[in-house]
Amino acid sequence: MSILPLYFDPGTGALVAQALAAVGAGVLLFYKRIKYGLQSFFGKKQDEGLMGDIDIEENKDEGNNK
């Protein structure tokens, strides 16, 4: 399937910068994971807040059908 043309300019620079942003994000998430790991080891629960987590829970029925 062909990629659709965009009605706006995605910006070549912004596409290049994503690779750098991903490296930064990788380092950050690595340290966050260690931090949360340590916190949960000492019994602190992570508060998801009112807006929830980024990951969508898949249809719960699937689990029941197994």
> Min. distance of Cβ 52 from other proteins in angstroms?
8
Residue with smaller CB distance to other proteins, 11 or 43: 11
Residues that bind other proteins in the complex, under the rule CB under 8 A: 1-22, 24-29, 32, 49-51, 54-56, 59
Smallest separation, CB 63 to other proteins (Å): 15
Select 48 or 66, whichever has its Cβ closest to other proteins: 48
Q: Which helix (H) or strand (E) holds 2?
A: none
The answer to whether the beta carbons of residues 46 and 39 sit under 8 Å apart is yes
Helix (H), strand (E) at residue 17: helix 12-41
